[in-house]
Amino acid sequence: MAPNSIRFVLCRPSHPGNIGAAARAIKAMGFGDLRLVAPERFPAPEAQWMATHAVDVLESSRTHSSLKEAIRDCVHAFALSARPREWSPQVCDVRTAAARAVETDGPVAFVFGNETAGLTNEEVFACQSLVHIPTSREASSLNLAQAVQIVAYELHMALDVAIPFARTEKAATVEDLEGLYAHLEQAAAASGFMTPQSRVRERWRRLFSRVPHMEREEVNILRGLLKALLK
């Protein structure tokens, strides 16, 4: 995997200084793809001040209106959270996530939440893995830019020893998976299997999050089966 296949996505960042510091953090580790989802204030001079030697990363960053738009062409997205979730995708530590990312054929994203509230449940479930950075139990909260720096470092170290991951099939994108989930919901509702109060949506997202490298052809097979059953 090339470093430009890895993107860093900041959801609803409230402080422009953290955006600049994040740009500096990823450039120091050899990366350059920074995405911003609905930033509270950007562009801003504070971002420029903090992006020492990384103004080019800041200026080439892309702004999106939603997380789904920012990661729609990714084959895997890793959500960062310090808080455990009762319902979540597959959970792993940051070092394991970095190793999985560099073995993936296709663009991957590491998604960070707002400085105060973190990621919403909807944003977490838009990703396929939930990533924790192990910290002291007495002080588990990290600054946004610090979290970005740790992830970038682990990815840099993983890439240095990474063995190219050979694939013969195209990996499924987030958009492919969302299409499958919508098809599953349609079939579940039509069959009467899913009630309005059912948590089955979260269950099948959790199930498929355990498949680390789902292929587009595999998604198409499942959707073909669902289409035949709906007839």
**Which of 111, 88, 117 is CA-nearest to residue 14?**
117
User: Domain spans of the chain?
Assistant: 3-160, 174-230
C-alpha–C-alpha distance, residues 60 and 154, integer Å:
23
Same CATH fold assignment for domains 3-160 and 174-230: no
CATH 1.10.8.590 for domain 174-230: yes
Please tell me the distance from the alpha carbon of residue 188 to that of residue 230, in angstroms, as a whole number: 10
Task: Judge residue 151's burial from the number of C-beta atoms within 10 Å of its C-beta, 0-12 exposed, 13-18 middle, 19 or more buried.
Answer: buried
Q: pLDDT tens for the chain, 231 residues: list them.
A: 677 899 999 999 999 999 999 999 999 999 999 999 999 999 999 999 999 999 999 999 999 999 999 999 999 999 998 777 666 778 899 999 999 999 999 999 999 999 998 999 999 999 999 999 998 888 778 999 999 999 999 999 999 765 555 556 788 999 999 999 999 999 999 998 988 788 888 999 999 988 878 899 999 999 999 999 988
Q: Which residues contact 94 (CB under 8 A, 6 or more apart)?
A: 80, 131, 132, 133, 134, 150, 151, 154
Residues 80, 216, 158, 138, Cα dihedral to 10°: 20
The CA-atom distances, in angstroms, between 165 and each of 29, 99, 106, 110, 211 are 21, 11, 10, 19, 16
Please tell me the predicted confidence (pLDDT) of residue 52: 93
pLDDT at 115: 94
Q: In the prediction, which pLDDT does 164 show?
A: 54
Q: How far apart are alpha carbons 172 and 203 in whole angstroms?
A: 19
Determine the topology of domain 3-160 in CATH: Alpha/beta knot (3.40.1280)
Whether residue 5 contacts residue 37, with contact meaning beta carbons closer than 8 Å, is answered with no
CA distance 139 to 133: 12
State the pLDDT at residue 161.
60
